Amino acid sequence: MVVEEFLTGPEVSVLSFVDGKVVKPMVSSMDHKRALDGDKGLNTGGMGTVAPNPYYTPAVAEECMKTIFLPTIEAMQQEGCPFKGCLYFGLMLTPKGPKVIEYNCRFGDPETQVVLPLLESDLLKIMMSTTDGTLADTEVKFADGAAACVILASGGYPESYAKGKEITGLENGQIPGAEAVIYHAGSALKDGKLVTSGGRVLGVTAKGADLPEALKKAYAACEKVSFENAHKRSDIGQRALKALQ
């Protein structure tokens, strides 16, 4: 009996729309789960993401569709529990081919912060089609280009960290004039002030014609936001850039 198998290889997150029978994967993404640069430190919920994931080539995508996505959907149908909604495939591209590390019946965080900004089709129509069973006839189109998300976290996360630190640099939750969107995760309004209220506080996301441009914009936006003992990784996207070379 195999209790545990040690797998190695690049990880890829593939969120996908499913209507019970049809599966349409979204643009692939790469999470950065460790707290510190160089993939060091403790595992976190995710310190940043980029999309698309350069390891997820068209050939890998085809293999995943054949050996993982379709068999998963078909097995759930056969068991009388057809899946409808967003299914998250957490994959590892091992020397023996793509393997599933985890399934989640939800969007990923912070994968969604880079995947949905690249979606050109109407999200509501797609989500409706997953419940109506009409996904096959519904357009799911993603833009060319890339997106990057850098997480601004409370120092100490994922272990103990302080809350209630004032966040400056934002107006109405966004950075005025920046080419980036701020997704709020661990922030709160207290006595009219924006303060930290969690480990992963803000997701700073930018799009670009390519990954270097997206990363440049996201990191430039991060410089405009501050709170005491803020922590971010400074190497989000570096592994993806190396893979692209």
Q: Which residues bind ligand GLY (CB under 6 A)?
A: 31, 45-46, 104, 108-109, 111
Find all residues with CB under 8 Å of 179, minimum gap 6, and list them.
206, 217, 220, 221
Residue among 46 and 186 whose Cβ is closer to ligand GLY: 46
Q: Report, in Å, the least distance between residue 201 CB and ligand GLY.
A: 16
CA distance 158 to 162: 11
Residue among 170 and 186 whose Cβ is closer to ligand GLY: 186
Q: Report, in Å, the least distance between residue 120 CB and ligand GLY.
A: 23
* Radius of gyration of the CA atoms of the chain, in A: 19
Q: Report, in Å, the least distance between residue 13 CB and ligand GLY.
A: 7
Residue among 20 and 46 whose Cβ is closer to ligand GLY: 46
Structure tokens at 227: 């709170």
Residue among 19 and 111 whose Cβ is closer to ligand GLY: 111
Residue nearest to ligand GLY according to CB distances in the complex: 108
Q: Report, in Å, the least distance between residue 33 CB and ligand GLY.
A: 7
Structure tokens at 187: 């922030």
Residue 228 DSSP class: T
3-state SS of the chain: helix, strand, coil percent to 5? 25, 35, 40
Q: Report, in Å, the least distance between residue 27 CB and ligand GLY.
A: 15
Residue among 113 and 130 whose Cβ is closer to ligand GLY: 113
CA distance 27 to 118: 8
